[in-house]
Amino acid sequence: MSLDPVLARIDADLPQALDRLMALLRIPSISTDPAHADACREAADWMVRDLASIGFDARTCPTPKHPMVVGKAGETGPSLLFYGHYDVQPVDPLSLWARDPFDPAIEETPKGKVIRARGAGDDKGQLMTFIEACRAWKAVHGSLPARITMFLEGEEESGSPSMVPFLKENAETLKADLALICDTGMLGNATPAIVTMLRGLVGEEITITGPDKDLHSGMYGGPAINPIRVLARIIAALHDETGRVTVPGFYDGVPEMPEEILAQWQGTGFDPAQFLGEVGLSTPAGEDGRSVLEMLWSRPTCEVNGISGGYEGAGFKTVLPSKASAKISFRLVGSQDPVRIRESFREMVRGLLPPDCSVDFAPHGASPASQMSIGDPAFEKARLALSQEWPNPAAFVGSGGSIPVAGYFRNLLGMDSMLIGFGRDDDAIHSPNEKYDLESFHKGIRSWARILAALSA
Amino acid sequence: MSLDPVLARIDADLPQALDRLMALLRIPSISTDPAHADACREAADWMVRDLASIGFDARTCPTPKHPMVVGKAGETGPSLLFYGHYDVQPVDPLSLWARDPFDPAIEETPKGKVIRARGAGDDKGQLMTFIEACRAWKAVHGSLPARITMFLEGEEESGSPSMVPFLKENAETLKADLALICDTGMLGNATPAIVTMLRGLVGEEITITGPDKDLHSGMYGGPAINPIRVLARIIAALHDETGRVTVPGFYDGVPEMPEEILAQWQGTGFDPAQFLGEVGLSTPAGEDGRSVLEMLWSRPTCEVNGISGGYEGAGFKTVLPSKASAKISFRLVGSQDPVRIRESFREMVRGLLPPDCSVDFAPHGASPASQMSIGDPAFEKARLALSQEWPNPAAFVGSGGSIPVAGYFRNLLGMDSMLIGFGRDDDAIHSPNEKYDLESFHKGIRSWARILAALSA
């Protein structure tokens, strides 16, 4: 089946594709916030209706939290599972948004047109690139070039609590030759990337309790233990002076990258100064003696994602609080074991507690790192197809982010994932004023059409 | 003029006195929150009306923020300035209150009746003990036994920004032989106290900025500096392993207490185990080798009153935030210089900043410690008067809290302050479910009547 009319159809249909994306972006499907459960349901229903309009046999599948969307179409060609997520991150601090995060708009910027909204880049804009490619293919040829299962999740930004049981129960429905995932980025603006190494993630929320009520810091300051100070000491103790994580056993299973891989990364044109400069930084933090790309793609980290305690409002309040808490995450590589790292972290925290303090732990997700078998010819086919759409050839790269589902697909369904996405470093995903480049959307759709053609040739 | 009919009048008028206090407690005069400015104004107007009803020539005096209330009455006897504050602390976390903090009620508890509301103990209930004593005296004798200036502030919980200029401009109006301040507590439930040593206070809010926007911790974690981790290291560095504050020069001007004073404190019946046990603690934190009373009354401290950064909502968000901030306060003793300590702290923080990080400082109040000249016979007269009302003799003590106005009275108006109050350790001032014992209110009013009689005899 010929590709060129599909590409032409994509170009002609772009305004309508944008209208569809805007409609999806208007749904505030924040999965982590129980107040937005209805919006998640609404987004899932929207996805089902949209897939049905392209001929997919699609439905929502309930989970204890937000529904999964599963749809099937196509009679011939390779079997492919496409994964994306319709949920989005919270929007706070709302005051830093220049517009309502759920009132999407196309804005002119010095770097070109962008689609501005929460979820534009992560992941609604990205997942729609694949769906629009299918739509164009179906419109031109009357059928799809592959047997495609669409699999859209609503809990990715909440640690995917339902994913493992769902995959186990629906393994036969979901199994395919290869998974396609559109939730990653490019290298700069001209070089597409296929991610073949993904960091894992362990999230922990810790709450330190000292006194059993909030106290006056004048009446009790000194003899009463202050949980904020205890928490600060714990956080400060998580790294040594060289930037290494001090959790015992943390580096077990962390491989050193072969020289040739490091050399290949050098050749991607990645510019650390520009990467940091775009977010107002100039000096790499992190582990001594590691390059920025190493730290992002092949080194594990420990970060504090949030901290809270005592009086946080305007002005001053001389309280000595009862509790202080922090959200801490570890990014994992190689064969680091998320379960052992969680236990070792908890043990270390307990060991740092002074008398009269207690700690509560709340787990938020645990996924190992994953690495794809790029010997599969599909990877090289996709790489060449991408290279035809974009100015520079596509590269096999690592990713600092965690996409746990790729690990689950490998372990539970026995298939590798091809991670291809069109995000840019300045997309501000998880931040105020998130955007997705119009070029990413348009050429992303065209890229998937090319990849579908290459995989089904 | 005879005391007994005044005491009888106080007993008979208690229900009406409680009604008046309840009306005042219903006004949500949170001075630190600009949204409550009208309530502060309303509380000031209420005070003026109430003072006028006892014959005071009273008025509100504007300041850049919340008004001062000044009232004068009495033709003979010693000249006394009574100071209290009509503003209250914020009420968060509101979810921990068992009732609306501004819907006061009298509750039965295992320890007796209490008045429950924000401000019941700090300071509305306390300041009304003095006003009610004046009211009873006036009702019985037709006039007051002393020349009394009432001076009520609306910014005490906000660091008293208007106090110094106001005292300078109104020195002639406010000057008196002695100031009386009702904003302190008892030793346990049976021993009244006159505070003769007060700690000073320096408040600082620091905000660390790293990246110029919130980042995804997977995409940037490692090479991008995390301001929460920087802030945690700074806080952890503020104390050494023995609990001493590490700010350079911090202990300049901190005196060692004479053995006889320490011995006197031992004799007050203060029970460290009970003091800590009431707030769920058992082991004194703070400086090694210092008793709990020393730490509270004669040692300086550094506490973190609030900390904030990154994602603090429900669930998890893998953000690497742009900013993190903390509210930090120092309690001062002896001749520690608040201005030099603020500068030294800022210098230390700047020295701990890694590359690419900046810090903003916001000052919140600076007051030195103060010590009264208890050789003045008025102190001993008051001590004996108090001893007649309560089961145990009254004691001269120190206070861990800071009452900066006492220092301003000394430095700007040349008068000492007699700090007498009826708060209890479990009043939960500055915390949810604040209360004031009904006994404190009733016997507090009687105590002031006795003190007025003693001072004017």
Tell me which amino acid residue B398 is: G
B309–A307 CB contact, under 8 Å: yes
Task: Convert the pLDDT of each residue in A136-153 to its tens digit.
Answer: 999 999 999 999 999 999
Q: How confident is the model at residue A407 (pLDDT cuts 50, 70, 90)?
A: confident
Q: Report the range of poorest mean pLDDT among A207-221, B255-269, B285-299, B365-379.
A: B255-269
Q: Are A225 and A268 in contact (CB under 8 A)?
A: no
For this complex, say whether ipTM is above 0.85.
no
Mean pLDDT score, A115-122: 98
Task: Convert the pLDDT of each residue in B234-274 to its tens digit.
Answer: 999 999 999 999 999 999 999 998 787 787 777 777 889 99
Q: Does A316 touch chain B (CB under 8 A)?
A: yes
B306–A228 CB contact, under 8 Å: yes
Q: Does the structure show a pLDDT above 90 at A368?
A: no
Tell me which amino acid residue A213 is: K
Q: Report the range of poorest mean pLDDT among A35-49, A228-242, A305-319.
A: A305-319
Q: What is the pLDDT of residue B181?
A: 97
Among residues A198, A211, A26, A218, the alpha carbon closest in space to that of B280 is found at A211
Mean pLDDT score, B374-385: 91
d(CA B307, CA B235): 10
Q: Take residue A230 and report the two structure tokens written for it.
A: 């205890």
Task: Convert the pLDDT of each residue in B429-439 to its tens digit.
Answer: 989 999 999 99
Q: Does A161 touch chain B (CB under 8 A)?
A: no
DSSP result, A380-392: HHHHHHHHHHSSS
Q: What is the pLDDT of residue A340?
A: 97
Residues of B in contact with A214 (CB under 8 A): 428, 430-432
Q: Does A222 touch chain B (CB under 8 A)?
A: yes
Give the closest of B203, B224, B432 to A285, CB-based.
B224
Q: What is the pLDDT of residue B280?
A: 96
d(CA B308, CA B364): 17
Phi, psi (rounded to 5 degrees) for A133:
-65, -40
B317–A331 CB contact, under 8 Å: no
Q: What is the pLDDT of residue B263?
A: 76
Task: Convert the pLDDT of each residue in B166-185 to its tens digit.
Answer: 999 999 999 999 999 999 99
Q: Does B274 touch chain A (CB under 8 A)?
A: no
CA distances from A287 to A70, A240, A284, A305, B22 (A): 42, 9, 9, 18, 60
A306–B304 CB contact, under 8 Å: no
Q: Does B188 touch chain A (CB under 8 A)?
A: no
Q: What is the pLDDT of residue B371?
A: 83
Q: Does A354 touch chain B (CB under 8 A)?
A: yes
Q: Take residue B168 and report the two structure tokens written for it.
A: 């300078």
Q: Does the structure show a pLDDT above 80 at A32?
A: yes
CA distances from B75 to A36, A337, B58, B87, B457 (A): 67, 82, 15, 29, 15
Q: Which of B209, B304, B434 to mutate to test the interface with A (most CBs of A within 10 A)?
A: B304
Task: Catalogue all structural domains in chain B, each as residue range(s) with its CATH number.
Answer: 4-198+369-456 (3.40.630.10), 200-256+295-367 (3.30.70.360)
Q: Does the structure show a pLDDT above 80 at A400?
A: no
Lookup result for tokens 């922090």: A326
Mean of the per-residue pLDDT values of chain B: 94
Nearest CA in chain B to A96: B213
Q: Take residue B31 and report the two structure tokens written for it.
A: 């001075």
Q: Does the structure show a pLDDT above 90 at A367?
A: no
Task: Convert the pLDDT of each residue in B399-427 to its tens digit.
Answer: 877 788 998 998 899 999 999 999 998 99
Phi, psi (rounded to 5 degrees) for A184:
-125, -170
d(CA A250, CA A344): 8
Residues of B in contact with A306 (CB under 8 A): 228, 309-312, 317, 319, 321
Task: Convert the pLDDT of each residue in A95-106 to its tens digit.
Answer: 999 999 999 999
Mean of the per-residue pLDDT values of chain A: 94
Q: Are A117 and A21 in contact (CB under 8 A)?
A: no
Nearest CA in chain B to A276: B224
Nearest CA in chain A to B122: A216
- Taking only Cα atoms into account, the Rg of chain B, rounded to an integer number of angstroms, comes to 23
Count of CB atoms within 10 A of residue A258's CB? 9
CA distances from B2 to B129, B137, B148, B449, B450 (A): 19, 10, 18, 11, 10
Among residues A193, A203, A216, the alpha carbon closest in space to that of A394 is found at A193
Q: What is the pLDDT of residue A267?
A: 74
Task: Convert the pLDDT of each residue in B177-230 to its tens digit.
Answer: 999 999 999 988 898 999 988 888 999 999 999 999 999 888 899 999 999 999
Lookup result for tokens 């996709």: A382
How deeply is A339 buried, as exposed, middle or buried, from its count of CB atoms within 10 A (0-12, 13-18, 19+)?
A: exposed
d(CA A106, CA A17): 13
